[in-house]
Amino acid sequence: MKTNQQLKSSSTANLLIMQELINQELIRRQKRTLAIDERLKIRDLPLRAVTRSTLLLDIKRHIDTAVSVENITIQHLLYQLPPDYWHSFGRSYPKYYVELKDALLQKEIDLRVLVE
């Protein structure tokens, strides 16, 4: 509701600037996802069950989806998650973050690609 009020009270120039920033963010996310196998899912990563379940529960809190989070590809998650998600996950769960980083490296994905 607050966002709608802000949009209504914003000038057209400000809205165009916001639109351009959103477009730039979408292009940036699209470029970084091209390096990742489009079929790779979190369940395909070599993670311990506790790490996988913690990650899936945390992701579920950040995105709105009708399908199981386990069935969403990592590429799709990159579009859905907030830009700073991986940093906050690393701060909240440092041990699981390291394990996730290692699992991604085994799949030849550098976590910096996700974080940038």
CA distance 31 to 49: 31
Q: How many domains in the chain?
A: 1
Asked whether residue 61 is assigned to any structural domain, the reply reads yes
Asked whether residue 95 is assigned to any structural domain, the reply reads yes
Asked whether residue 66 is assigned to any structural domain, the reply reads yes
Asked whether residue 110 is assigned to any structural domain, the reply reads yes
Domain, as residue range, for 67: 35-115
Asked whether residue 82 is assigned to any structural domain, the reply reads yes
Written as tens digits, the pLDDT of the chain (116 aa) is 566 777 677 788 788 888 898 888 878 777 766 667 778 888 888 899 999 899 888 888 888 777 677 788 887 777 788 878 888 988 999 999 999 888 888 887 776 666 65
Asked whether residue 78 is assigned to any structural domain, the reply reads yes
Q: How far apart are the first and last CA of the chain?
A: 31
Instruction: Determine what percent of the chain falls in helix, strand and coil, rounding each to the nearest 5.
Output: 70, 0, 25
